[in-house]
Amino acid sequence: MHDSPRMEKALDVLRAELEVERSTQTELTARAAWSAFMRFARQRFATAPTRDSDGLLFQYGTYAFSGRPKFTVDLTRQFEITDDEGEHEHYVQVHCEIRYECEPVLDALGSFDSWFFHDADTNLDEWFAAMEGHLELVLARVPGEIDVYEERV
């Protein structure tokens, strides 16, 4: 995929997609963040030629990663980084975390996660539709915060 953007630009691409949504409304909702993430997820990047080099992770749950517990929807894009011989070196993950104050209705959802890999012969639109079903309770809500960041794992 020599015409595809480099993986190093992925965080900037996601931020730009979120800015498109932010420019059309006063407060960014989960629906807007999800729309931005879906556009970001459809864009292909220059990745290693392996079936799991470009993956999407949808997950949620109530977590206390940095202080008080928050209900968190984590939309992640994961890229595999390989060395010169094509061997796995590490992953780069680009996250869009949508966080809400804890509420019994959100906490009752428990936790959930699902992966999609672009080159695994599965249908992206079907995966999107299935994941959106898990977002029903939060789509119209304005989150307490949205954090976009990149990490190496």
pLDDT at 152: 93
pLDDT at 1: 45
Which helix (H) or strand (E) segment is 57 a member of?
strand 54-63
State which residues of the chain have pLDDT below 50: 1-2
What is the rounded distance in angstroms from the CA atom of residue 81 to the CA atom of residue 91? 6
Residue that is written with structure tokens 């249908």 in the block = 123
pLDDT at 3: 62
